[in-house]
Structure 1
Amino acid sequence: MSHLDKGSSIDPNSNNFTEFMIKRTYKDAINALNSLQSNFASVEALKKLGPSVNRNELSINEVYEYTKRLGYSPSDFNKLNIIHVTGTKGKGSTCAFTESILRQYQGSNKPIHKIGLYTSPHLKSVRERIRINGEPINKELFTKYFFEVWDKLSTTKSDSKIWPTLQPNETIKPMYFKYLTILSFHVFLKEGIDTAIYEVGVGGTYDSTNIIEKPIVTGISALGIDHTFMLGNTINSITENKTGIFKKNCPAYVSKQVEYPESEDIIKERGKELKVSSLEFVNDKLPENVELGLSGDFQKANAALAIRLACTQLTKFNVENLLTFDKEGNIINIPKEFIQGLKSVNWPGRCQITKDGKITWYIDGAHTIESISASSKWFKEEHSKNEKDKRLALLFNQQGRENYKELLTKLYNEVSLKFDDVIFTPNVTWESGDYNSELLSKNTSEDVVKRLEIQNDFSNIWSQLDNRSKRHVFSSIESSIKFLKEQDVEIDVFVCGSLHLVGGFQVVLDNDRD
């Protein structure tokens, strides 16, 4: 009996149960998926263990075992022609730029047939994580493939002596991210994808995506300090882990590490150790005629990395001699398809500006020290373009990072503007206290969320940073947005701190209840 079956009030031996198994809906799939989330208690238990190679090795070995039970071997995924990307800041944007460039070469009578993109987290819908030709897979396909994987794992077995953690086989499933990663491989193979772009979830070496044997190319964006309980708290340990996606005889491109230049020596050593075919550090210089579809000066580095990844990928499809360089090795000319791809990229929730009546929302899901710094500079620059004086407001949350106080302080120092109102809210979607089902998170303490502990802590921190601002703590994103709209004045609002906040914000702004 699966998690879903176990949670159902339907008798498994009845005719109704048989009918239910046939008619399972998208909502059933989401409910089943949410049952796979690690709860707050288990996350805290893992943190207390500290970085543990044994635990990490067990985790990725489970991915191999689960895919084996689905009938796949790692070599099966080579036919997807995978681009594998990690980093701390900008890996998602790099993947988006890469996909947008390659889509100019995709279609009938073009080199690439179908492009798959796997990223995380999602903003509004989990289907955003698994895209085909630029679009999230539809509900019907998601439901179909979700339950193909679910049912196969419910009816196959792992040796209990070798895999005691996977017992009982019928009920134990991969955790949330792991399940979606396995699902993405299944979807892309079934749908005939011939180019797939995979964004690493956390780290590199032990990430669920790192069962990829022979990627076409690997890429690393800007590195920084994040996910320390899994990756260690030094740039050395983090770099060591991220470079775990390097593969023998596979080229690797890495953004110049401006924040942590010392990491480049480790990257070079790891490149030799893992026997990559080539390793190149990419600067952020772009041809003058390039216009980026994503705001923020820092996106140049992500776009430059994407150009190299896309160019390498296209050589697999016999599209060559795409780039022209000057004597210093800077790119001075790229094809019109690349120019169009970089301009037309769409990646919501990252340096996004939305006009809504008298309010202009400046939205970015930055959640690390480095990305908060870049995002704050972007907001300050955009706000300075206003011809008239506007009220300023901040809408902020960060529920899951241990250094949340440091993040808020960094934002204050980098923006260096006086906010008239600062608003702190948990990621609860609606005033009723409910979440949209695809935004539900069990990874934070429900009690801490209800008591608004972190939000009140934020308010106290801000009072010490700048006691001129009016501070507000609301219990939901909807309440926060209502308050701002009720001001009925022209306001620039900076929405920042978490992609989960940004996702809930977009849902409320669109009134997209499920």
Structure 2
Amino acid sequence: MVMVSAAEAEINELLTLHPKGFDLSLDRISRLLAALGNPQERMPPVIHVAGTNGKGSVTAFSRAMLEAAGLRVHVHTSPHLVNWHERYRMGQPGGSRLVEDAVLAEAIHRVAAANGGAKITVFEILTAVMFLLFSEHPADVAIVEVGLGGRFDATNVIARPAACVITSISLDHQAYLGDRVELIAAEKAGIIKPGVPVVIGEQPEDDARAVLVTTAERLHAPSTVYGQDYFTFAERGRLTYQDEDGLLDLPLPRLTGRYQYANAAAAIRAIKAAGFAVSEDAIAQGMETVEWPGRMQRLSHGAIFDLAVPGAEIWLDGGHNPGAGRVIAEAMANLEEIQSRPLFLVTGMINTKDPVGYFEAFADLARHVFTVPIPSSDAGLDPLALADDALDAGLTAEPVDSVEDALAMIAQVRDTSQPAPRILIGGSLYLVGEVLRANGTPPV
């Protein structure tokens, strides 16, 4: 029998009463927060983070640097990988911790009672829980990640954050946000507030950058743009950050992938924009201690790890759109330059994504794709259809019943004259969460 935590029991009850998905509007969350006494008005200074790809990494870098400076940092992220508690990190001396189960359960119960059964989504209730928790527990700063979009996201009731950050924008969630990158950028730009500093991260699309800059100008929000006002580059095994204040000489980030350099830069700039004086030593320490589970995370032990070919590398990444596919493939290519290994993909996706666009990034890298179901999501794509998408992208692929079966198949088909394989499990945060749960290594 699986034990259910008190907080999970509260959430399971909510899921029987309210929709699980998104219904973008600020009316319901505003009504609920008013019933709770508007806790969003009693938050510590907020760094508000939106974007298609990279917002979680920017959040993780910001937290690591601020904590290295000795600050207490609340952090809100979504979705979670294994446990609902991951969405709420509570700031305390010595570093933040996931919210205690009893504290979370009590907050959920209070918010649900204040809602009184009115129409609302579970995400909105859980966002109200964040505001309640972060307003009632002291901290020096709160980093709040947008759930979906920006303009009508439930987090976007913060009247005046200390700073806003908008990371890389590409096509994703088109049904909610629009089918052109400039439309998605306009939704993300909805978190920009009049007069509040906004940090614009690296933008692969000029049209997206133009929308963000224009919105900031219209709202008289001081903006700094990656590649124009602040920069970063790697040289001789070090990372250099530069803005109008000068240069910082830093260690390379602990997070794998060159794309993380720009995310680290956005975090540094956001901390500055928010008014926190963090030393170069603290920034450097943050580079070396940063953690972001499920994103280019290498497994080193655990039940799933033990099923792989001895000596294999297993990487997890929940990136699931074409933009994420490109940066993950680039990271895999960088690893190939360091040590050549045959690359196998074990991929599961939900039906709101663009599988062909994701797979195309791996066309010249991956040896073979095994597609798997996602039991934890009702929206999981059929592995047979997903394998056809991989074929359309120029890869060879076949469906299997589980990640465990995929690892067994890799052991059978690998060329034993070559090094042990490199295995990337990804395409969905749901899938990555399942693997971390089964491996016995949930985020802490």
TM-score in terms of structure 1 length: 0.73
Report if aligned partners of 2:342, 2:366 keep a CA contact under 8 Å in 1.
Answer: no
CA 1:184 to 1:343, structure 2 compared with 1: closer, same or farther past 3 Å?
Answer: same
Structure 2 unpaired stretches of 5+: 233-240, 242-247
CA 1:264 to 1:460, structure 2 compared with 1: closer, same or farther past 3 Å?
Answer: closer
Whose Rg is larger?
1
**CA displacement at 1:105 relative to structure 2:** 2.4
- What is aligned with 2:49? 85
- What is aligned with 2:280? 335
| Of 443, 454, 464, the match for 2:382 | 454
Report if aligned partners of 2:18, 2:119 keep a CA contact under 8 Å in 1.
Answer: no
State the SS of the aligned residue for 2:291.
coil
- What is aligned with 1:424? 371
Q: CA RMSD in A?
A: 2.6
Distance 1:511 1:282 in 2: 35
- What is aligned with 1:147? 109
Distance 2:33 2:53 in 1: 29
Q: Give the % identical residues.
A: 23
CA 1:271 to 1:466, structure 2 compared with 1: closer, same or farther past 3 Å?
Answer: closer
CA 1:298 to 1:37, structure 2 compared with 1: closer, same or farther past 3 Å?
Answer: farther
* Letter in structure 1 aligned against 2:400: F
State the SS of the aligned residue for 1:116.
strand
- What is aligned with 1:200? 146
Report if aligned partners of 1:424, 1:474 keep a CA contact under 8 Å in 2.
Answer: yes
Report if aligned partners of 1:368, 1:407 keep a CA contact under 8 Å in 2.
Answer: yes
- What is aligned with 2:236? none
- What is aligned with 1:305? 266
- What is aligned with 2:122? 176
- What is aligned with 2:434? 504
Distance 2:200 2:394 in 1: 39
Distance 1:507 1:481 in 2: 17
**CA displacement at 1:248 relative to structure 2:** 1.6
- What is aligned with 1:280? 224
Distance 1:394 1:214 in 2: 43
CA 1:230 to 1:293, structure 2 compared with 1: closer, same or farther past 3 Å?
Answer: same
**CA displacement at 1:30 relative to structure 2:** 3.7
Report if aligned partners of 1:217, 1:252 keep a CA contact under 8 Å in 2.
Answer: yes
The answer to whether structure 1 residue 364 and structure 2 residue 326 are counterparts is no
**CA displacement at 1:144 relative to structure 2:** 1.9
Structure 1 segment 240-389 matched on structure 2, within 5 A = 240-257=186-203, 259-276=204-221, 278-283=222-227, 284-285=231-232, 286=241, 287-315=248-276, 319=277, 335-355=280-300, 356=305, 357-386=310-339
Distance 1:441 1:67 in 2: 30
- What is aligned with 1:21? none
- What is aligned with 1:121? 79
Distance 1:511 1:213 in 2: 38
Corresponding pairs, count: 406
Report if aligned partners of 2:65, 2:282 keep a CA contact under 8 Å in 1.
Answer: yes
Report if aligned partners of 2:39, 2:135 keep a CA contact under 8 Å in 1.
Answer: no
**CA displacement at 1:304 relative to structure 2:** 0.4
Structure 1 segment 48-87 matched on structure 2, within 5 A = 56=24, 59-72=25-38, 74=40, 76-77=41-42, 79-87=43-51
State the SS of the aligned residue for 1:210.
coil
Distance 2:39 2:8 in 1: 30
Deviations 1:354-400 (A, max 9, x none): 2344331122111121111000110122133226xx44321012113
CA 1:480 to 1:36, structure 2 compared with 1: closer, same or farther past 3 Å?
Answer: farther
Structure 1 unpaired stretches of 5+: 1-23, 47-54, 107-111, 155-170, 323-333, 429-439
- What is aligned with 2:9? 28
Report if aligned partners of 1:36, 1:174 keep a CA contact under 8 Å in 2.
Answer: no
CA 1:492 to 1:232, structure 2 compared with 1: closer, same or farther past 3 Å?
Answer: same
State the SS of the aligned residue for 1:177.
helix
Deviations 1:177-229 (A, max 9, x none): 21211110011112123310011111111111000001001111111111111
